[in-house]
Amino acid sequence: MGIFDFLKNEFVESIDWVDVDGEIVLYKFPDKQADIKYGAALTVRPSQVAIFVNEGQIADVFQEGLYTLETQNMPLLTKLKNWQMGFNSPFKCDVYFVSLKSFTQFKWGTPNPIIMRDSQFGQVRVKAFGTYMLRIKEPVLFFKEFAGNKPLVRQQEIEATMRDFISPKFAEALAESKVSVMDMVSNYSEIGNKVLPLLQDDFDQFGITLTKYVVTSISLPEEVEAFYDKITNMNMAQDLNRLTQFEASQAIQKAAENQGTTGAFIGMNMGANLGNAINNQMQSAQSVSTGLSEKEKIMDTIRELGKLKLEGLLSDAEFEEKKKELLARL
């Protein structure tokens, strides 16, 4: 190897960064203690920013594009190093790349239950989980306040840092929304929309924009879920009662159309007996299923309806229709 080849390998002639795993937010270019050649090529790819740092001081910031590193496009670095007119020697400088793309795989959760007040249940402990998205809005501020001198920042580090901010703001938004415990499931979007602006101030201090905040689940205490299951089961029984009454009236009408006046009386008796039989079976199923899970209660009801089919009180079509309605509740 000649002396010129040796010197060539001692200098950095090309600076760029390709994000291969998609999880890196900040990356320091590995110069291996080598000087940067005057006139070296700098490549800043889409959704990237390159920050030049001279002995701890931020110098020039380069947006997307291709650059030849000369004094003309490095005014701050030229000033910091006191370069004179005609300077063309290698120089020392740290180069950091910051990704400006949207990061989408962040998760959050309440490490401990949050106490909320509910008009029906009083104080209730709930736990919540979800996801959020962000992007770096101010790369220089992010470098100063979050990264510091770290050579690498992954999104997991941001997730771990912001975790402590999210839980208190979620509790605050939950209190402001005044959503009852029973209505939480249908109001995830409303709760999430209230949390996002409350959290933005905490993200702003690091130069980060919170672009989306989603609540995916809220866990309720067992006693609240048991009460909810009881209400659901009662509503299901009421729906089945209304169904049997409707089918009884249909049986009366059909009998009257087919058999005249005498048939009408027969249809009335048949409809009444059918309604009473189904209601009795339903009441039996409800009394047996007390203390069972929602799934077990529904399966007991289907078994009772199967008995009615075997006794000839329900047709195959009627049984299949009712079974389909019940299974849809699982």
Tokens of 217: 């689940």
Does residue 207 form part of some domain? yes
3-state secondary structure 121-135: CEEEEEEEEEEEEEE
Q: Indicate whether 317 and 229 sit together in one domain.
A: yes
Judged by average pLDDT, the poorest of 58-72, 97-111, 161-175, 303-317 is 303-317
pLDDT of residue 37: 93
Residues 89 and 22 in one domain: yes
Helix (H) or strand (E) holding 17, with range, is: none
In a shared domain, residues 228 and 313: yes
Q: For the chain, give the mean pLDDT.
A: 80
pLDDT for the residue 33: 83
86 versus 169: the higher-pLDDT residue is 169
Which residues 6+ apart lie within 8 Å of 230 measured at CB?
none
Question: Which long-range contacts does 29-35 make (Cβ < 8 Å, 24+ apart)?
Answer: 29/94, 29/95, 29/96, 29/97, 31/94, 31/95, 34/10, 35/10, 35/11, 35/90, 35/91, 35/92
* Domain match, 210 and 235 both: no
- Which helix (H) or strand (E) segment holds residue 59: the answer is strand 57-62
189-202 pLDDT per residue, tens: 888 888 999 999 99
Any residues with CB less than 8 A from the CB of 135 and at least 6 apart, and which? 100, 101, 102, 103, 208, 209, 211
Does some domain include residue 77? yes
The per-residue pLDDT for 222 is: 63
pLDDT attached to residue 267:
45
Q: Please say which residue of 188, 220, 252 terminates a domain.
A: 220
Instruction: List, edge to edge, every strand of the sheet that includes 94-99.
Output: 57-62, 48-54, 94-99, 24-28, 152-154
Q: What is the pLDDT of residue 131?
A: 95
Same domain, 278 and 194: no
The answer to whether residues 128 and 114 touch, using CB atoms and an 8 Å cutoff, is yes
Please tell me the predicted confidence (pLDDT) of residue 76. Answer: 92
How would you write 165-190 as a 3-class SS string? Answer: HHHHHHHHHHHHHCCCHHHCHHHHHH
The answer, yes or no, to whether residue 183 has pLDDT greater than 90, is no
DSSP summary character for residue 282 = H
* DSSP strand pairing (152-154 vs 208-219): unpaired
Distance between CA atoms of residues 94 and 15, nearest Å: 11
Rounded to a whole number, what is the distance in angstroms from the first to the last CA of the chain?
Answer: 75
Share of the chain above pLDDT 70, in %: 73
Q: Which of 194, 220, 246 is the last residue of a domain?
A: 220
- Is residue 139 included in any domain, yes or no? no
Asked if 252 and 318 sit in the same domain, the reply is: yes
The residue segments making up the domain with residue 309 are 224-327
Q: What pTM, to 2 d.p., does this model score?
A: 0.65
Q: Are 254 and 291 in a shared domain?
A: yes
- Proportion of the chain above pLDDT 90, given as a percent: 39
For residue 180, give the CATH number of its domain. 3.30.479.30
Examine the fold and report which residue of 220, 239, 258 is the final residue of a domain before the chain moves on.
220
Same domain, 295 and 233: yes
Q: Are residues 91 and 151 in the same domain?
A: no
Query: Total structural domains in the chain?
Result: 3
Q: Are residues 49 and 72 both part of a single domain?
A: yes
Most confident residue range from 190-199, 234-243, 277-286: 190-199
What tens digit of pLDDT does each residue of 75-130 get?
999 999 888 777 888 999 999 999 999 999 899 998 888 888 877 777 778 889 99
Q: Is the same domain home to 43 and 151?
A: no
